[in-house]
């Protein structure tokens, strides 16, 4: 039996009702045609430290639990960065190297007991960059305590034990993504779309976590239905889809984004940006695969769009959130 991704189902339910963001369906067909022969590079989430087995799984989980918001939402727009081995790394990669450095300094950031009792003073040793304390520092400390406590209470301190529950992302409420957002509240990335009262599910970090495990060549865990994951609704993908002409903003929303005016978390505008990103990318992936024998997943398309967004000359939307 085919199981639809509840993320796709929920975002699809509001697409025809959006007020601030619209999808150009004809543009999807046009862009898909240009990508029918494109050689999508394989995904390799192997930029993690030289870890294997349970430690690699635990590291990927800990990292993804705090993988969000690396830029200050005010001038001078500083990004979290850290120097490692003579090279400066910023954003998510900077966080990876910060955690890696912590392990090398014998700070047990993978130990659930340590995380469950983490203090802000201790967290400063690995969440303070070379230029700034990581944005939303207090929220990250709270999340690390949460995952430490839940791992101890339910999974003997090991996320590998969680993975033993299933090898499916979605499975009528019993899949790993669905279980994760229930057991670990900070992963429960949902909004209420106020015009219709619809609960919209995004599950960005939850889906990304299992994609990172699946596509890491050093990890033995593989998802049976990785093709059911959607793209990960963040800042970069809307940039790319806007540049491609696939999503279009109202004049008012375009002005806010282009002038770096923050979009509040949970606002109708933010929900629509993320919903239209996921739904249009899903349609784009389907349309691309109509022209190809070597089918791609939406996770592969996500990697392509993310890089396109990073190359964009226009600002991305700014939202203060723990979810992306």
Q: Name the residues annotated as catalytic.
A: 234
Instruction: Give the mean model confidence (pLDDT) for residues 55-75.
Output: 96
- CA pseudo-torsion sign 54, 58, 64, 65: positive
Q: Does the structure show a pLDDT above 80 at 279?
A: yes
The pLDDT value recorded for residue 159 is 98
Q: H helices of 187-314, where?
A: 204-214, 236-243, 251-258, 268-290, 298-311
Q: Which of 56, 151, 132, 53 is nearest to 99 (CA)?
A: 56
Tokens of 226: 């990785």
The pLDDT value recorded for residue 84 is 93
User: Rounded CA gap, 321 and 318, in Å?
Assistant: 9
CA 128 to chain centre: 22
Q: Does the structure show a pLDDT above 80 at 29?
A: yes
User: Within 10 A of 279 (CB to CB), how many other CB atoms are there?
Assistant: 23
User: Rounded CA gap, 7 and 24, in Å?
Assistant: 21
pLDDT in tens, 122-181: 999 999 999 999 999 999 999 999 999 999 999 999 999 999 999 999 999 999 999 999
The pLDDT value recorded for residue 96 is 96
Instruction: Give the mean model confidence (pLDDT) for residues 62-76.
Output: 95
Instruction: Give the mean model confidence (pLDDT) for residues 225-245.
Output: 97
Residue-range domain boundaries for the chain? 6-45+187-311, 53-155
The pLDDT value recorded for residue 57 is 97
pLDDT in tens, 189-203: 999 999 999 999 999
Residue 235 DSSP class? S
- Strands 190-193 and 21-23, how do they pair? unpaired
Tokens of 82: 């850290």
Tokens 């690396």 belong to residue = 70
pLDDT in tens, 300-315: 999 999 999 999 999 9
User: Rounded CA gap, 282 and 295, in Å?
Assistant: 13
Query: Which residues are registered as beta bridge partners of 108?
Result: none
pTM of the model: 0.95
Q: Does the structure show a pLDDT above 80 at 4?
A: no
Instruction: Give the mean model confidence (pLDDT) for residues 73-102.
Output: 94
Q: Which of 123, 118, 119 is nearest to 133 (CA)?
A: 123
Q: Does the structure show a pLDDT above 60 at 2?
A: no
Binned at pLDDT 50, 70 and 90, residue 43 comes out as confident
Instruction: Give the mean model confidence (pLDDT) for residues 69-96.
Output: 94
Q: Whats the size of the chain, residue-wise?
A: 324
Average pLDDT, the chain: 96
């Amino acid at each position: 039996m085919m199981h639809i991704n509840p993320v796709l189902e929920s975002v699809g339910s509001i697409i025809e009702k959006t007020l601030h963001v619209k999808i150009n369906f004809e543009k999807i067909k046009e862009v898909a045609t240009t990508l029918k022969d494109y050689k999508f590079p394989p995904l390799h989430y192997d930029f993690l430290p030289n870890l294997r087995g349970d430690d690699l799984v635990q590291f990927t989980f800990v990292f993804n639990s705090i993988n969000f918001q690396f830029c200050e939402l005010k001038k001078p727009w500083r990004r979290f960065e850290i120097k490692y081995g003579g090279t400066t790394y910023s954003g998510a990669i900077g966080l990876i190297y910060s955690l890696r450095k912590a392990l090398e300094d014998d700070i047990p950031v993978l130990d659930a007991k340590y995380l469950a009792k983490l203090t802000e003073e201790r967290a400063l040793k690995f969440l303070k960059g070379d230029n700034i304390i990581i944005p939303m520092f207090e929220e990250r400390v709270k999340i690390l305590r949460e995952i430490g406590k839940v791992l101890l209470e339910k999974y003997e301190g090991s996320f590998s034990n969680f993975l033993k529950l299933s090898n499916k992302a979605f499975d009528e409420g019993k899949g790993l993504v669905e279980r994760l957002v229930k057991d670990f509240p900070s992963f429960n990335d949902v909004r209420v779309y106020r015009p219709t009262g619809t609960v919209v599910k995004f599950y960005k970090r939850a889906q990304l976590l299992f994609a990172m495990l699946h596509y890491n060549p050093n990890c033995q865990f593989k998802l049976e239905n990785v093709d059911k994951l959607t793209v990960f609704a963040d800042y970069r993908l809307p940039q790319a889809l806007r540049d491609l002409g696939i999503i279009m903003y109202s004049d008012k929303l375009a002005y806010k984004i282009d002038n770096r005016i923050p979009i509040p978390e949970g606002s109708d505008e933010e929900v629509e940006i993320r919903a239209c990103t996921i739904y249009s990318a899903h349609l784009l992936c389907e349309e691309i695969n109509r022209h190809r024998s070597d089918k791609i997943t939406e996770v592969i398309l996500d990697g392509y769009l993310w890089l396109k967004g990073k190359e964009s000359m226009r600002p991305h939307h700014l939202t203060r959130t723990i979810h992306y």
